[in-house]
Amino acid sequence: MKLSIKKQFLLLFLLVLLVSLTLLSFLLRNTVENCFYDYKWAEQSKIFDLIVSRLETYYAEHKSWKGFNGNELAKLAMKEGCYFTLIDNNGELIWTSEHIIGNSPDTSYRYWRNIYPVNFHNQMQGKVYIGQFTDKIYTPNDMLFKEEVYTYILISLLASLLILLPFIMILSSMLSTPILYLQKSAENMIKGDLHTEIRAPASSLEIIKLSASLDRLRKSLAQQEDLRKQLASNISHELRTPLNVLQNQLEAIIDGIFEPTPERLDGILQEVIRLTSLVAELENISAIESSDFIPIIKDVKLANVVENVCTTFEAAFQRKNIALVVQIKKGIIVKAQEDKLKQLVINIISNALKYTDSGKVTVKTYMHKDDHAVFEVSDTGVGLTDDDKEKIFERFYRVEKSRNRNTGGAGLGLSIVKNIADAHHWKIEVESDGKTGTTFRVHF
Ligand code: ADP
C-alpha cells in the first residue's frame, strides 16, 4: 500500500510517540513499584527489630529461655504477616510460630526468611529466624494506593498523546510541504512550464539544495528549449535565402528571361555549394553536440596538423594579399581526435583570413609556462568588441550580419570550434581591442 509522504510522517511520529510514552509509563510504573516495595520493607524491618528487642528484654529479665511463651509476640508479628522461630545457643528450639505456615493457604507465595542474633550484654543468647511472605507485605490500602498511581500514569499517557497529536500533525505537514512543492514543480516542468522559478519553502539544507538543483535543471531546459526554437528559425532563415536566389534564377532561365550563360550557371553552382557547406556544418554541429560524442583521443603532433592546414591556406592568403606568418614549435604532442583538431585549426585560420582586409595573420604553437601546449592565431583584421567576444561562439551569431553575408559565413564556425574544445576540455581565449585585430588562443 502506497501512502502519501504526509501520512507516512504522521504515522512515523505517532509510532515513535506511542513507543516512547509506553516505555516511559512502563518505567514509571516499575519505579513506583520498586520504591513502594522498598518503603514497605523498611517499615517491615521495624517489626523485626521489635521482635528481636522483645526477646532480648525477656532474656535480660529472666537470664534464661526457660518458660518462654511467645504467644503474644507471635500474634503481634502475625498482624504484620511475620512468623518467627527462636533457637538457643545449643540449637534447641525454644519457640516457633512458623509451624502455622504449613497450613496456610498462602504457601504458594515466596517466603522470605532472615536470621537475627538475640544478645544480652553483647553476648549472643540465641538466634531468631524471622520470615514473611514477600507478596503479602501490602495491606488492602496499599493496594488501593498503588492502583490509583497506575491509573494516574495511564491518564497522563493518554493526555500527553492528545496534547502532542496536533504538534505531530503540524510537524508532518511542515516536513512534507517542501517535498510536495518539489513534486508539483517537477510535474509542471514535465507539462512544459519552464519559466516559473522553483524555490521550495524549506529550512533543511538538503531540501534547499535539491530545490536549487531542480531550478538549475529548469533553467537549463528552458535555455535548451529556447536554443532549439532559435536554431529551427535560424536554419530555415539560412536556407531560405540561397533557395530563393536559386528559385528566382532558375525560373528566370526557364521563362527565357535570362540566358543560361556559364557565369549565371556558375553563380547558381556557388549558391548550391554554399547550401551544401551549410548543411555539412549543421551535420557537424549536431554530431559533436549529440550527448554520445566522445572524442577518440590519440597522441597527435600539433606541428604537423597546423603546418598542413597552413599549406592549404597559402594560395587563399596570397589571393587576398595578406601575409601568413607561421611560427611552429616542433615536437609538441597533444591528446586529441585528429580530424576534430584539424577542423578547429581550419575554422580559426579561415576566420582570421575572412575578417582581415590587410596586414598579416600570425599562426603560432608553443608551450605555455604552465606546461601545456597553446595554438594561437592573431590577425590585423576588424577586431571584436567585448560584447561580441561573449557571443561569437553562439550558433548563427555574426557580427554585423550584412557584412558577413558577403564573406559567406553562417555563424557556425566558432560554435563548432567551441564544441570541439569543450569535448576535449580545452580552453579558448579571445583577445581584441575592438579595432586592430584579434587573437584566438586554444590552451590544450
Ligand atoms: P562565420 O561563419 O560567420 O565566420 P563564425 O562562427 O566562424 O561564423 O564566427 C562568428 C562571428 O565572429 C563572425 O561572423 C565574425 O563576425 C566574428 N569573427 C570570427 N572570427 C573573427 C576574427 N578573426 N576577427 C573578427 N571577427 C571575427
CATH code: domain of residue 308: 3.30.565.10
Q: Which helix (H) or strand (E) holds 376?
A: strand 373-379
Question: Are 275 and 332 found together in one domain?
Answer: no
- Do 280 and 302 fall into the same domain? no
Q: Does 106 score more than 70 pLDDT?
A: no
Query: What residue type is 334 in one-letter code?
Result: V
Q: Do both 246 and 304 map to the same domain? A: no
DSSP 3-state of 373: strand
User: Does a structural domain hold residue 43?
Assistant: yes
**Nearest atom in ligand 1 to 411's CA:** 8
Query: In this structure, are 24 and 56 located in the same domain?
Result: yes
**Phi and psi at residue 435, in whole multiples of 5°?**
-135, -50
Q: In the listed set 286, 320, 335, which residue is the last one of a domain according to the structure?
A: 286
Assign 402 a pLDDT band (cuts: 50, 70, 90): very low
Position with higher pLDDT, 294 vs 30: 30
Tell me, yes or no, whether 40 lies in a domain: yes
Ligand 1 atom nearest to 440, measured from its CA: 23
Q: CA-CA distance, 438 to 444, in Å (whole number)? A: 20
- 414 located within any domain: yes
Read off the DSSP letter of residue 117: E
CB of 352 within 6 A of ligand 1: the answer is yes
Residue whose C-alpha is closest to residue 328's, from 295, 377, 260, 384: 377
- When divided into structural domains, the chain yields a total of 3
State in Å: Cα 411 to ligand 1 middle.
7
Query: Atom of ligand 1 at shortest distance to CA of 383?
Result: 25
Of 267, 286, 305, the position where a domain reaches its end is: 286
Residues 110 and 250 in one domain: no
Per-residue pLDDT at 73: 92
Same domain, 305 and 439: yes
Instruction: Check whether residue 432 and residue 333 sit in a common domain.
Output: yes
Average pLDDT, the chain: 88
Residue 298 · residue 338 · CB < 8 Å: yes
Asked if the structure places residue 162 within a domain, the reply is no
Beta bridge partners of 115: 129
| 77 and 217, same domain (yes or no) | no
Q: Is the pLDDT of residue 108 over 70?
A: no
Q: Is the pLDDT of residue 276 over 80?
A: yes
235 and 330 belong to one structural domain: no
Q: Cα of 244 to ligand 1 centre, how many Å?
A: 25
Regarding whether 42 and 114 lie in a shared domain, the answer is: yes
The dihedral through the CA atoms of 44, 45, 48, 50 has a sign that is: negative
Same structural domain for residues 310 and 354?
Answer: yes
Whether 196 is in a domain gets the answer: no
Q: Determine which of 150-159, 240-249, 254-263, 395-404 has the lowest per-residue pLDDT on average.
A: 395-404
Length of the chain: 444
Q: Which of 268, 286, 304 is the last residue of a domain?
A: 286
Atom of ligand 1 minimally distant from the CA of 401:
14
* pLDDT band at residue 281 under the 50/70/90 scheme: confident
- Based on the fold, state whether residues 15 and 84 are members of the same structural domain: yes
Q: Output the pLDDT for position 231.
A: 75
Q: Is the CB of 131 under 6 A from ligand 1?
A: no
Q: How confident is the model at residue 406 (pLDDT cuts 50, 70, 90)?
A: low
Nearest CA to 412 out of 437, 426, 392, 432 is that of 392
Give residue 325 CA to ligand 1 midpoint distance, Å: 20
* 318 Cα–ligand 1 center, Å: 21
Residue 404 CB–ligand 1 contact under 6 Å? yes
Q: What φ, ψ does residue 129 adopt, rounded to 5°?
A: -95, 125
Residue 180 in this model has a pLDDT that exceeds 80: yes
Containing domain of residue 411, as a range? 295-443
The domain that holds 261 is classified in CATH as 1.10.287.130
